[in-house]
Amino acid sequence: MIKKIKKLKFILGTVFVILALSSAIFSLVFAATTISSAYRWAWNDAMGWIDFYSSGNVSVTTNELTGYASSQVGDISLNCSSTPNGDICSGPAGSWKVSNDGMGALSGWAWNDNIGWISFSCLNTGNCSIYNYEVTVDGDGYFNGYAWNDVVGWISFNCANPGTNGCSSPGIDYKVKTTPFISKKANLTSSTFDTGVAQGVSFNSLIYQGTKPAGTDVKFQFASSDTASGPWIFKGLDGSDATYYVPTGPNVPVLLIYSQNNNKRYFRYKIFLDSDQSQTVSPIVDQVIINWSL
């Protein structure tokens, strides 16, 4: 806690300076990216090549895979909403898909009429202690790892996977890859901070220090509470969890909603960072300054 200083003379009351980005969690935004025509093949010893491009409708989003791949045993549907027979999510099997956790870790199930369910992660069955496998998509769009089917066994998405013969021999340089992502995102949720004022304070404004290159974005959500245990409901400018406080740049204050943050003792914040679309530059937040007054 520091006192008001001259260069921040527009700030009233007491100021906290908080180091911000020691544990930011980076995720990827997959804006319905499609499969590369050059890198489109997965491999299974029983089925041979599996083509994720020829059908022309396999895509990867932040939440899921859609469309279907082709193989010698028929189409492999990645989502009940986009099978060769259309949307079958209301059918006997219910709703199923290959999910994306937003950071490229895939899970869930694909389906083929001849061999049945294909698992994209050991988390589906809870047997990771026996067979620890998953399919992931890295920051460059390449699929890695193995999926599993009880009939045909392992399906490899990259010739560089452990247990393969490598990618150097002619004819075996195979992998599945999406087209470039729109941006990379990061987020951080702070620990709980205590003003030390039993009757609570009024939280007035938020400032960050750092850099914000053109095309990047820095956003915040804020939560305050009477108790150290919360509840912690992070909200933005309109008082909902669907909006953000968006400073126009470093060292520019943004006012916090008075009615929601008055007479509160404890607070937390979330930071949301977006790179530019080409993923060449990212914003940096060195410090977050929260202004409060009695």
Q: Residue 15 has what pLDDT?
A: 42
Q: Residue 130 has what pLDDT?
A: 87
Backbone φ, ψ for residue 135 (5° rounding)? -110, 135
Nearest-CA neighbor of 31 among 181, 231, 252, 254? 181
Q: Residue 170 has what pLDDT?
A: 65
The angle at the Cα of 152, spanning 147 to 154, to the nearest 5 degrees, equals 30
Q: Residue 33 has what pLDDT?
A: 81
- For residue 123, the SS3 value is helix
pTM score, two decimals?
0.59
- Rounded to whole angstroms, the Cα distance separating 243 from 262 reads 20
Q: Which two tokens stand for residue 90?
A: 């209301």
Q: Residue 108 has what pLDDT?
A: 97
- Rounded to whole angstroms, the Cα distance separating 194 from 18 reads 12
Taking the domains of the chain in order of start, what are their residue ranges? 6-27+183-293, 31-178
Contacts of 197 (CB under 8 A, 6+ apart): 265, 294
Nearest-CA neighbor of 246 among 287, 280, 274? 274
Q: Residue 16 has what pLDDT?
A: 41
Q: Residue 185 has what pLDDT?
A: 76
Q: Residue 181 has what pLDDT?
A: 64
Q: Which two tokens stand for residue 65?
A: 């895979």
In CATH terms, the fold of domain 6-27+183-293 is Jelly Rolls (2.60.120)
Regions of the chain where pLDDT drops below 50? 1-25
- Rounded to whole angstroms, the Cα distance separating 54 from 51 reads 6
How many CB atoms are closer than 10 A to CB 247?
A: 18
